[in-house]
A and B are shown apart, each in its own frame.
Chain A
Amino acid sequence: MSAAIDTERLTKTYGRRSRGIERVDLTVEEGEVFGFLGPNGAGKTTTIRTLLGFLRPSGGRAWVFGMDIRRRSVDIRKWVGNLPGEFALEDKMTGEELLRFFARLRGVRDLGYAYELSERLGADLRRPMRRLSRGNKQKIGLIQAMFHRPPLLVLDEPTAGLDPLVQEEFLEIVGEVRGEGTTVFFSSHVLSEVERISDRVGIIRNGRLAAVEPTHELVNKAFRHVRLDFDAAVDPKPFAVLPGVRDLKAEEKSLYFTLHDNLDEVVKLAARNRLLNMEYERPSLEEIFLTFYGESENGGEE
């Protein structure tokens, strides 16, 4: 398998005061769905815009399908469908007119897939852009990124402004194109959707890539929410002092805490009492992300 995106210490700075990205090493394999996570200003959009040649790298190197982003930006864009995070479309033109224009730019003659996507997403191709809502413009943006069936989709916040039903349909479409071998590199704030469709996630913080992990591994190795119900109230202190136990709360006959490690000792301690029920839940990716950021901000990371 070859890399769809490969970066080597990729750096983009905007001057002394404004941070961009710093020494980003990232590999996205062909055919995978890669979720790119980070809060506003972390460097997600800068990474995407640098990969596509809108921004000149300040340092490092990067390749898309083996093509150097500095030298072959136009060739790269032949293979990429891009949805920018902040974009506008010509106000006077309808979605259909714009798609025909983009098709001519790309030498695409068949707009059949564009119409199919429009049908599925419920996009109105006949109205001028100025009369469309944010969500409807987003649909046209998604269609223009996907209609030419590129081998790499780069989507910056693809579901922003879409209603839940359309989001669901979009995620369905992403699943289909992945099945056809398309690589999807997307940034999002909606962690539940990243968790649902991503093979791997990358977390960027303050312009640096803080972690890249398979989504399930990131979730599996994270903490767990634990609830223990006993037949009588128990002393919480022995649990509170166990390594790995945090945020412990005692309520009548139950204990609630998050467990970061040390399951064995917790189970053994609990077994000294009469245990009626034990709940052991994995957190959502959103919680993991927030915890990760919380730790990192406190110097727990890097």
Chain B
Amino acid sequence: MRAARRSGVGRHAAKGPAPGGAFLALVLHTLRLQRRGAIIWGLALGLYSAVMVASFTTFSADAEQMNQLLEAYPQELLDAFGIQNLADVRNYMNSQVFLLAPLALAFFTILASAGAIAGAEERGTIDVLLGNPLPRWQLVVGHYTATALSLLGILVITGLMTWGTALLMDVALSLGSTVAAVLNLWPICLFFGGLAMLCSAVFHRRALAVAIPAFLLFAMYLMDTIGRASESLEDLRPASVFNYYGSAIEDGIDWPNFGGVTLVALLFVVLAVLVFRRRDIYT
């Protein structure tokens, strides 16, 4: 009797988007929401990088004197900050920009990913969004994909401003080195974004989904920096994602590390999907 009553939806025709249509719509929607923030991040980081390129020209003529001056510093300290030869613009840019850039740029992915689930619950937007026929995994993966693409946009802006300034100021910084430097930021920022997405899926509070990856970001940075400066603490470095970051502007991209870190980031996202599929949504 009861089974017979559950017969169907009567006269209404079946509806739904084309396969992949909802996912694409969600990615485009999220990109649109992130667009302004991504441009601001790109311009801010690009401006800082461009200023550093420009500043190189002011002392490059005296770089040898600078290097002699730095010899007075302990080698461990110079290693910690990636300083080897300031007469080389690539080493200069690595120590002044790209070694520190993940500390700032990772916050773009952390904030974006934390807002995807826990943030949407707090804002109260998730009920209307998931009132549509959108599987939960698509919400997680779609949001993360959009964040990864927005991050790429930030890196393109940063790279163009860096390389453009180098061209204008006649600094010997090649396009290849610049591309390697900015592209190398992608996996490490995605790593912390993936971690934030996992925290956003586990906890219902955005603050936790921001605080936990932010704490690990600084802890791992310190762990790697101290590990480089102290032989006794060097064994800690493999536990830090910064150990696999390297100096792509000088050495090119280390593709196995690039792929490995990206895979771990994706693993976080898979875990976020598994957790989010099983939990209640609160608003």
Q: Which residues of A contact B (CB under 8 A)?
A: 2-3, 6, 8, 27, 30-31, 49, 52-56, 63, 65-67, 74-75, 77-82, 84, 86-90, 92-93, 101-102, 104-108, 141, 144-145, 148-151, 181
Contacts and interface: CB of A to CB of B under 8 A. Distances in A.
B131 A52 contact: yes
B131 A107 contact: no
B6 A66 contact: yes
A118 to B, nearest CB: 16
Nearest to B36: A92
A23 B232 CA distance: 62
B124 A86 contact: yes
Given A54-B280, A84-B127, A84-B283, A79 B6 contact: no
Interface residues of B, number: 37
B26 interface: yes
Nearest to A55: B280
A107 B17 contact: yes
Contacts of B124: 84, 86-88
A100 to B, nearest CB: 9
Contacts of A8: 2
Interface stretch (B132-140, B157-165, B201-209, B251-259): B132-140
Interface of B: 2, 4-12, 14-18, 21-22, 25-26, 29, 33, 123-125, 127-128, 130-135, 278-281, 283
Contacts of B7: 2, 66
Contacts of B29: 101
Contact of B133 (A77, A86, A151): A77
A88 to B, nearest CB: 4
A78 B9 CA distance: 11
Contacts of A88: 123-125, 128
Given A77-B132, A102-B132, A63 B15 contact: no
Contacts of B127: 49, 54, 82, 84, 86-87
A84 B128 contact: yes
Contacts of A93: 33
List 5 tightest A-B contacts by C-beta distance, closest first: A66-B6, A107-B17, A104-B25, A88-B124, A82-B131
29 contacts: A2-B6, A2-B8, A3-B5, A3-B6, A8-B2, A31-B10, A54-B281, A55-B281, A56-B280, A66-B8, A74-B133, A74-B134, A77-B131, A84-B128, A84-B283, A87-B128, A88-B124, A88-B125, A89-B128, A90-B33, A101-B29, A102-B132, A104-B25, A105-B22, A106-B132, A107-B16, A145-B131, A151-B12, A181-B12
